[in-house]
Structure 1
Amino acid sequence: MAASGTHRLCDVVLDETIGRSTPDVEHERAVAIFDLIEENSFAPVGHPGGPYRLNLSLMDSKLVLAIKTESGEDVTTHILSLTPFRRTIKDYFMICESYYEAIRSATPSRIEAIDMGRRGIHNEGSQTLMDRLKGKIDIDFDTARRLFTLVCVLYWRG
């Protein structure tokens, strides 16, 4: 699906239920939000068009996606269990640690191999997110990648 002026996010807000973290984590969250808003394709199924504002919050270990139009009209709210993402996020953080350690001392071929694995796990999480949103929100794979990055950063404690 090609992003149009109306099938996109114009704002992403993290609710206070997400909690605040270290300055490094807050910076990573801001970058993830910026990247997501900068380029995305986002269309709640059955709604004629936005642009949309997305409010993310946590409730009972579930991710709540509250969607409004740019003018503030409620569109829909979806609640996703984070259970299907836990293993992928854990694996992603582990391989990211390996990647950052490798940057300091490993050979370029070793760094590249670890980075390929990191991208593969990230793609797996992005596909899981697309599958979980199927029939609820139409997003393209690049938007799923950016949104999965944001979900990961919500877990990161620095």
Structure 2
Amino acid sequence: MNDALTPHLSRVTFADDVVIDLPPMVEGDRAQAVRDLEAGNYFAPRHAGAGPFVLILGVRDGRLLFDIRDEAMQPVTLIGLALGPLRRLIKDYVMLLDSYAVAVQDGREARIQAIDMGRRGLHNEGAALVAERLRNKVDLDLDTARRLFTLITVLHHRVAGYSG
């Protein structure tokens, strides 16, 4: 649970508030990541006060945008990160999610476990990269970085125009 005095995100959303036609597994991951972030996180933008903060994630002109606002929706800071360094990890992670879905559908328990182990490893690598890219801009914990990486992969589905 978030302490009112600890810098944290009170709400997380996407820039246009619409995520449509996502595969059920991706939608489930998105919903769970948002719930987990809103239940507990450590997110402290540098030079921005104690928060709590609202995070609006988006992509514009090939850049990942972290639009950080106060709870009254007043702008706090806007952080843009190039997507290039994340693309390989996102692509690999999405490919593993697709493989996982097929293995679940086929009921192949050993394959599900193997894919899930690889998925967790790749997820940790993505979280570490997100934390590194935000290092001089936002202090955050590993769990928060992991959940943000999940949401970044959801943005990939939106930007790529996934239609289910």
TM tier, smaller: 0.7 to 0.9
* Identity, % of aligned positions: 43
- How far apart are 1:82 and its partner, in Å? 0.9
SS at match of 1:65: strand
Q: How many residues align?
A: 156
RMSD of aligned alpha carbons = 2.4
TM-score, normalised by the number of residues in structure 1: 0.86
- Contact 2:59/2:155 (CA < 8 Å) preserved in 1? no
Alignment partner, residue 13 of structure 1: 13
- How far apart are 1:19 and its partner, in Å? 6.0
Q: What runs of 5+ residues in structure 1 fail to find an aligned partner?
A: none
SS at match of 2:48: coil
TM-score, normalised by the number of residues in structure 2: 0.83
Alignment of 1:115-126 (within 5 A): 115-126=116-127
Amino acid at match of 1:81: A
Q: CA 1:48 to 1:37, structure 2 compared with 1: closer, same or farther past 3 Å?
A: same
- Contact 2:42/2:141 (CA < 8 Å) preserved in 1? yes
- How far apart are 1:115 and its partner, in Å? 0.8
- Contact 2:57/2:67 (CA < 8 Å) preserved in 1? yes
Alignment partner, residue 54 of structure 1: 55
SS at match of 1:102: helix
- How far apart are 1:37 and its partner, in Å? 1.4
Q: What runs of 5+ residues in structure 2 fail to find an aligned partner?
A: none
SS at match of 1:77: strand
For the residues of structure 2 that align with 1:115 and 1:20, how far apart are their CA atoms? 25
- Contact 1:35/1:146 (CA < 8 Å) preserved in 2? yes
Q: CA 1:12 to 1:100, structure 2 compared with 1: closer, same or farther past 3 Å?
A: same
